[in-house]
Amino acid sequence: MVPLLIRAHLVLPERVVADGQLLVNDGQITALGKRVRVPRGAHELDATEQYLAPGFVDLHVHGGAGADYMDGTTAAVHTANQAHLRHGTTTIFPTTTTGAPEQIARMLAACAAVRAAWTPTDGARIGGVHLYGPYFAEDKVGCHSKAGRRAPMVGEYQQYLRSGLVKIATCAAELPGAERFYRAAAAAGCLVTCGHSNASWTEMARAFAAGMRHVDHFWCAMSSVPSLRARFGTPMQGSMEQFVLAEPEMSTEVIADGEHLAPELLRFAWRMKGPERLCLVTDANRALDCPPGRYRFGPQEDGEWFESNGRVGLVPGVGLASSIRALDHMVRTMVRVGVPLEQAVRMASLTPAERAGIAGEAGSLAVGKRADLVLLDTGLRVKRVWVAGEPVPVTRPRASVG
């Protein structure tokens, strides 16, 4: 592989190095700074007015370009991974919905097959699977299929964890067996999360003691003081929101598509948790890069129907149904609401990489890390993407709404 020198503004976790240089050799970053020593014969790319960022890392994503990971085929995994790679996501954690054990097993098998034979043309690299559904609270299922939700079953989830593919594991804290699930997932090396839950502070504290350290999509399908008053009466109790904000070790995530959360909530989450504990995720469904219309959320054969209006997914008469945007859009949104560029990029790259345990190889521009790179123009739109130093196409489908 011919060494590659890129001249651009380098987006580091703490600052932007104006007019910097970054050298790639054999798929790794080998030097970066204001000036680097360039090997003879290196290919040079002058992008001095643009921004070079680390490839994005998406911890919570259901699909894109017409495919949902729960379709359970390698073709669906390739389609979704390629769609997100075009938007700068170089490492992805395909995410389950609620569904039958056979459907989840089929999804895991498809992801395992793609991961085992992966090349950059297959799309974003699979960092692992996020076991998200099916262990949701009955009153917090959201747009997922209610028929597919259940309390955690030891024999079922042990099979998923034994695959070695599950790296993020979610369960509502109030479900029977939740603490045993958390301990098993923590022992398997997963980022252990609580989501689609109406848990109280006390239940969150027990979950924390069992290894839970993250809450999915802040303010979405989660408990609040009023929802807990309806559940427990008075005195009113602390909710997931208060527990996450009060506990320094807890991290969370926001869907910064401009449709789920207002600017003040995005700024509030950033100020309260900081860029080291707040991740950007897409929660994107199959309508990413597709025209407005009616789509299935989850498996194509029996997933719940939702509508895309070209900006967000909706279940008529119910509410929001996931995002149709990718992480490049989330970064632009955070910058628009006042977050410094380097911190917005960190929340889409290094912070999720740290939470998922892959920061030693990905998530930031640093010597020795994989050369997973995204070149952004002055409007922060993706111009080029490299995976392990290999350039990949970023041309979007004509029907793109992203």
Q: What is the DSSP letter of 265?
A: H
- How many other C-beta atoms are found inside a 10 Å radius of the C-beta of residue 217? 22
How far is 85 from 89, CA to CA, in rounded Å? 5
Contact 386, 371 (CB under 8 A): yes
**For the segment 337-372, what is each residue's pLDDT rounded down to a tens digit?**
999 999 999 999 999 999 999 999 999 999 999 999
Out of 3.40.50.720, 3.20.20.140, 1.20.200.10, 2.60.120.10, select the CATH number for domain 54-356. 3.20.20.140
The low-confidence residues of the chain, meaning pLDDT below 70, are 396-402
Report pLDDT for 316: 87
CA angle 362, 54, 68 (to 5 degrees): 75
Report pLDDT for 317: 83
Supply the residues annotated as catalytic. 283
Which ranges constitute the DSSP H helices of 117-162?
154-162
How far is 129 from 122, CA to CA, in rounded Å? 16
List the domain boundaries for the chain: 4-53+366-392, 54-356
CATH no., domain 4-53+366-392: 2.30.40.10
Which residues, at least 6 apart from 357, have a Cβ–Cβ distance to it below 8 Å? Answer: 167, 189, 191
Report pLDDT for 402: 35
How far is 130 from 193, CA to CA, in rounded Å? 10
Report pLDDT for 397: 53
Same-fold call for 4-53+366-392 versus 54-356: no
Report pLDDT for 399: 44
Query: Which pTM was predicted?
Result: 0.96
Most distant CA pair in the chain, distance: 73
Report pLDDT for 1: 76
How far is 237 from 259, CA to CA, in rounded Å? 29
Tell which residue, 394, 400, 370, 365, has the closest CA to residue 382: 394
